[in-house]
Amino acid sequence: MPSLFYYNTETSVELFRENAIPALFHFDRSFPNSELDILLVQYSLNGSFVGMQKLTDSDLHVCSYSKEQIQFGVKYHRKCRISIESLLRTNPTPIFAEFYLRFTNEKNIRQLYAIPILDENLRQGGQFVNRLSADEIAKWILTRRTYFVDGLTLSKSDRNSTSASYIRYPAYTSIEIQIQARKGGRIMPPFIRIRHAEIEERSNVAPEMEFNVNYFMDGTKHYKDIEITMSVLGTLSIICAAISAYSWGRRAGKIIADVATMGKLMLFECAILGDVFLIVIIAMASFITFGYKAQKLPYYVMLSQQQEWSFVAYLISATMLKFIAMVHKSAHLMLTKTFFIDWERPLPTVVSNTQHPPSADLDRRLSSATPTVIWSRTYLIANEWNELQNYRKTNIAVQMITMIALLKWLNFENWAAVAPGFSTGKLSISRISSQ
């Protein structure tokens, strides 16, 4: 009887063995181990050996339009709907499979490594232990085999309480690969996360299936870097906001810091702290993206979905802070009373008693009368000019056309794909995930 579970080791030990896979993986296809070569060893329901098959040729990769190899370092994400008839036609009986990673080790010898499976439908004590977060990895239970489609277990003959037959299908399949920190090209033992769902055999709705390949690293350093950067720049922003509030208080004739001064301090801090959040997040996102694409050996990877939420939180906070700063700036421009002061000395006007051109004789005399300047008109024009500063000084249509030209015509949108290299060519829709 083959062993179906990992009994002699804990999950945390099995998935964090640094020397389990003695090989270097590359992003460059001219080097070995630049593709994820995963083999499926298949068995029938009675345990008989059926054969071996590549993952790209198996039913688990059914969402892909082509049978191309999975390039190492590329984040795959694909959803599709497959008819129930097609599932039952290709899988009339359950087929079990074991997964093996085939690679070339440091001695240039081909080697296989058994990939553990994290079946999210497995329950222990009434709890789906394999659906727990990574913080409770000690409760995970790893298995060695899984199946694709099961149309026998929940058939009508086995379920007397209902007249309908059900089938199980893999609603979610994900290959999880952890890159070792500070060891370029090294990976931890990968594992496959799979979750089956049930659907009525006579249902007219085609079941949806999802296939992913995810890369991740330990996020401790990522969170620590953001925390240190934000702490230092946040302190400097408070100092800058205090200086701005003090300058405003002096212009307003404030002798001591009152409630209005503290309110200005908070408003200035919103504007500066929003800029700090945007600058740090944009700088880190650009460094991570372009650094990831430029490397040949995987020293680090793109952020995981959980790590991306820290960026999203900072972006949401920056948006709210900048909105408060914009309202403050607009109110300042519209409510501030402005007037122009003309320091130019008024010019005298010439009054002549003759209809001839003025000449240097006694008929000419100077008048002390000067044109009257209406102060209310100058005051109104000044305030209208001040409020006009609230209007956008750029052309939105020109910006949209420019961005569409850069993203679509020059294919710069492909740089957002989580894939090594800076290629702007057309990428396969079946394998690329963008962030």
Residues 69, 195 within the same domain:
yes
Average pLDDT over the chain, rounded to an integer: 81
Sequential DSSP letters for 219-271: -HHHHHHHHHHHHHHHHHHHHHHHHHHHHHHHHTT-SS--HHHHHHHHHHHHH
Please state the domain count of the chain.
3
Residues 158, 184 within the same domain:
yes
Residues 296, 210 within the same domain:
no
Q: Does residue 311 belong to any structural domain of this protein?
A: yes
pLDDT at 8 over 90: no
Q: Which of 311, 336, 361 is the last residue of a domain?
A: 336
Q: Does residue 409 belong to any structural domain of this protein?
A: yes
The sign one gets for the Cα dihedral 256, 262, 267, 268 is positive
Q: Which of 168, 197, 216 is the last residue of a domain?
A: 216
d(CA 251, CA 266): 18
Residues 262, 160 within the same domain:
no
Most confident of 65-69, 78-82, 277-281: 277-281
**pLDDT band at residue 71 under the 50/70/90 scheme:** confident
Mean pLDDT of 28-49: 89
| Residue 296: per-residue pLDDT | 82
Residues 103, 209 within the same domain:
yes
Residues 32, 171 within the same domain:
yes
Task: Look up the pTM and report it.
Answer: 0.74
Question: To 10 degrees, what angle do helices 375-387 and 305-335 make?
Answer: 180
Q: Does residue 355 belong to any structural domain of this protein?
A: no
| Residue 342: per-residue pLDDT | 53
Residues 194, 146 within the same domain:
yes
Instruction: Report residue 43 CA to chain centroid gap.
Output: 40
Identify the burial level of 297 via C-beta atoms within 10 angstroms of its C-beta, where 0-12 means exposed, 13-18 middle and 19 or more buried: middle
Q: Which domain holds residue 98?
A: 11-216
| Residue 391: per-residue pLDDT | 66
Residues 271, 239 within the same domain:
yes
| Residue 103: per-residue pLDDT | 94
Q: Does residue 351 belong to any structural domain of this protein?
A: no
| Residue 242: per-residue pLDDT | 94
What pLDDT digit, counting tens, does each position of 274-316 carry?
Answer: 999 999 999 988 888 888 888 888 887 888 777 788 889 999 9
Residues 298, 379 within the same domain:
no
Q: Which of 216, 242, 259 is the last residue of a domain?
A: 216
Percent of the chain with pLDDT over 70: 80
| Residue 382: per-residue pLDDT | 62
pLDDT at 379 over 70: no
- Tokens coding 322: 């900048």
Do the beta carbons of residue 193 and residue 172 sit within 8 Å? Answer: yes
Residues 246, 146 within the same domain:
no
Q: Does residue 99 belong to any structural domain of this protein?
A: yes
Between 427 and 82, where is the model more confident? 82
Residues 199, 92 within the same domain:
yes
Q: Does residue 275 belong to any structural domain of this protein?
A: yes
pLDDT at 434 over 80: no
Q: Does residue 391 belong to any structural domain of this protein?
A: yes
Question: To 10 degrees, what angle do helices 305-335 and 259-294 make?
Answer: 140
| Residue 354: per-residue pLDDT | 53
Q: Does residue 361 belong to any structural domain of this protein?
A: no
Residues 16, 126 within the same domain:
yes
- Tokens coding 241: 């906001």
d(CA 183, CA 191): 20
Between 351 and 286, where is the model more confident? 286
| Residue 352: per-residue pLDDT | 54
